[in-house]
Structure 1
Amino acid sequence: MKPVNIMINGLPGNVASTIAVHAIKDERVNLLPHSLTGPEIDAESCAIGEMVVELIRPAERGGHIRALAEKYETFISVDFTHPSAVNDNAAFYCEQGLPFVMGTTGGDREKLNQTVARSSVCAVIAPNMAKQIVGFQAMMEYAATTFPGIFRGYTLAVRESHQAGKADTSGTAKAVVAAFQRMGIDFSQKDIVMERDPAVQRDKWGIPEKYLSGHGWHTYRLTSADGTVAFEFQHNVNGRDIYAEGTFDAACFLNEKIGVGKTGRVYTMIDVLQSL
C-alpha cells in the first residue's frame, strides 16, 4: 500500500510534535515537511527528528497550500492546533478542498460539522484520537441508547486534569457526560471540574512529575440517591503517544473515502474503529 501523504498542522506544539515523531516511523503515512502554525510563532521551521519542517503562518497559507496541492496532488491535513483556530482552520481546509482529520478540541462543533457538510471535502472529527478511549466512549453511547434512564436519580461528579496549556474543557469528558445525561443523569457540562494547576495535579491527584506537561486523567463517579451505591469510571493517560496510532488510522480511513469519491461527509473515530 502506498503511504498516505499527511501534513500535520500545529507544529511546533507538543501534541503535533509527538504525532509527527511517530509519523516518521509509521510506514502507512508519509509526513510532508510543511505545517500550518499560529501567527504568534516566530520560527520559520522546526526539526522533527532529522526532518526540517517549514512553518506556515495564517497570512501566508493560501499561496503555500496551492503550491503544495500541485506538488503532492493529494494529502490529508491533520489538525492539532488550538481551540481558537478550529473553525477558521476547518473553513480554510474546506475552501481549499483539503480533506482533514480534526484532532483539536474546542471551537463551535456544530458549526464545524456544518462547514464540512456544505463543502466538497470529507473529514474525521473527533475529540479524542486514542482508540481505547474512543472504545470506552462507544460503550457509553451503547448504554445510553440501549438503556436510557438507567441511572435516573443518581448524581454525577466529573473531574478531568490536563496539562496547563490545554485551554478548554476536555471534549472527551463532554462526550461522556452527554451519554450519562441520556442515561437519566441531571448534570450540566459546566459542572465538570477542570484542573490545570501542576502543583495540585502532582500533590493531590498523584500525577507523576514527568507527565504534568502532557496527560489526561478523567474520573466519572455516580452515586445513588440514598448514597448506598456508587459506580466509578476512570481513564488516566500519561504522555501523548497513545494518540498517534489512532490519528494515522483516521488518515488512512479518510484516504480510502477520498478514493471512492466521498465528499461533504463528517466521520467520527467510531467510524474509523468499525472499519479496522
Structure 2
Amino acid sequence: MMVVAKVPIDISATCQQKQLELLFLSSSTKRSISITKTFFRRRKCLITMCSTSHMPHIESLEHINSVQSRSSGLPIMVNGSTGKMGGAVLEAAVSAGLNPVPVSFGGPEDSGKIVQVGGKEIKLHGPSERESILSSVYAEYPNLIVIDYTAPAAVNENAELYAKVGVPFVMGTTGGDRERLYKTVADANIYAVISPQMGKQVVAFLAAMEIMAEQFPGAFSGYKLQVMESHQASKLDTSGTAKAVISCFQKLGVSFELDQIQQIRDPKLQMEMVGVPEEYLAGHAFHMYHLTSPDDTVSFEFQHNVCGRSIYAEGTVDAVLFLAKKVQSKADKRIYDMIDVLREGNMST
C-alpha cells in the first residue's frame, strides 16, 4: 500500500492557479480530465514518499514461527491459481506454512495445466466433474479451506458448488449476484469469509469511513465530490472499494452517482498523469476522492495507492487462518467479512 507524506515546499502561484483551474472546471468532460491532471500536478508539487509491496519485508524469526505454528500445514485449495491474484495468494500461503493441495479449479482453457509452487505441483481441472473432485479432496483433507480468485461470472456457480459439498471457503472474487451469493451460503449453513476487498489496511480505512458516515450523517452536505480510480487495464468493472467509499460519502450528504467516477485504464495515462510506476501497470489500485465546499473555499482529499498484490494476498492468508479457527471452534456465526478478520487480530503481517 502506498503511504503518501505531503511536505510543503515552495509552490509557485502559477502551479497553484493551474491546480484550481483544473479542479473546478464545470463541464462533465473537463471535470473528468481535471481529476487526473490535478492529481498528477499535485504529485509534481509535493514531496512524496512511497512504501510499496516490492520493498523488502522484514520480519523477526519469532514472528514467522508464530504464523507458521498457527497455520500448521492447514490444507488449502486455491481456485483461479493461474491468475495473478491466485498466484500471489499461493506464494503468500506457502510462505505462511499453509499446505496447497495438488488440485485446483480453473476455466475450460486451464484444464490439464500444472502450477508449481513451493516445490509442489498443482493440477488444474476445468468445469467438468468438479463436484466429484472437490468431494474427493474434501474427504482426503477434512480441514480444507477453499480460496476463490476466479472470475466474476463464476462467483455464484462456484459458491453453489462449495455449499453443496459443504466445504468452507474464502471468496475474494468480485462481481456476481452478491445477494444470491449470501443466500447460498446461509441456506447451506457453511462457513465463509466473503469480501471483495482483502487488503487489511484498505478495509480498516473503509471501516473508519463507515463509522464516520454512521455517526456524522450529513456532515458534508452540499460538498462536491470527484473520484478517480486507476486499475490495471484487465479490470473491466468499477472498483468495489470505490463504490463502498462513495456510499459513505452519500450518507455524509454528498450527491454523487457511480457513473461520475473517472476510471483510468489506459497505461499511458496511468504513468504520465496518475503516476503509477511502470512495473505496476499490470497490478495496482490508485484511488483519489476530492471534496470541495459549495463556495470552493474548503477541500478535503482522501487517497490510497496500492502497488502490486501482496497486500491482498497477505489479507487472504489471514482470512484463511481466521476461518479455520471459526470452523474448529464450531462458532455460531457462519458468514464473515474482512472487518471480522481485523477485529480478531493476530494477523500474519
Normalising by structure 1, what TM-score?
A: 0.95
Write out aligned runs for 1:263-274 (5 A): 265-274=334-343
Aligned to 2:76: 6
For residue 155 of structure 1, the aligned residue among 211, 214, 224 is 224
Q: What's the offset of the Cα at 1:265? A: 2.8
Aligned to 2:145: 76
Q: Residue 199 in 1 paired to residue 268 in 2?
A: yes
Distance across 1 between alignment mates of 2:285 and 2:241: 10
Q: Residue 37 in 1 paired to residue 120 in 2?
A: no
Pick which of 190-199 and 16-25 moved more: 190-199
Secondary structure of 1:207 counterpart:
coil
Q: Is the 8 A contact 2:111 2:125 kept in 1?
A: no
Distance across 2 between alignment mates of 1:43 and 1:77: 20
Identical columns (%): 48
Q: 1:215-270, CA deviations, whole angstroms, 9 ceiling, x for partnerless residues?
A: 11111111111111111111001111111221111111111111232467321101
Secondary structure of 2:108 counterpart:
coil
Distance across 2 between alignment mates of 1:201 and 1:263: 46
Aligned to 1:118: 187
Aligned to 2:92: 22
Q: What's the offset of the Cα at 1:156? A: 1.1
Query: Which has the larger Rg?
Result: 2
Q: What's the offset of the Cα at 1:193? A: 1.9
The verdict on how the C-alpha distance between 1:198 and 1:43 changes in structure 2, with shifts beyond 3 A counting, is farther
**Structure 2 counterpart of 1:108, one-letter code:** D
Distance across 2 between alignment mates of 1:35 and 1:195: 33
Distance across 1 between alignment mates of 2:213 and 2:87: 36
Q: Residue 88 in 1 paired to residue 157 in 2?
A: yes
Secondary structure of 1:7 counterpart:
strand
Q: Which runs of 4+ in 1 moved over 3 A?
A: none
5+ long unaligned stretches in structure 2 = 1-69
**Structure 1 counterpart of 2:181, one-letter code:** L
Secondary structure of 2:109 counterpart:
coil
For residue 144 of structure 1, the aligned residue among 205, 213, 216 is 213
Alignment length (residue pairs): 275
Distance across 1 between alignment mates of 2:104 and 2:245: 32
Secondary structure of 2:156 counterpart:
helix
The verdict on how the C-alpha distance between 1:42 and 1:119 changes in structure 2, with shifts beyond 3 A counting, is closer
Q: 1:86-118, CA deviations, whole angstroms, 9 ceiling, x for partnerless residues?
A: 111111111111111111111122221222111
Q: Is the 8 A contact 2:174 2:240 kept in 1?
A: yes
Distance across 2 between alignment mates of 1:9 and 1:69: 14
More strand by percentage: 1
5+ long unaligned stretches in structure 1 = none
C-alpha RMSD over aligned residues:
1.5
Aligned to 1:223: 292
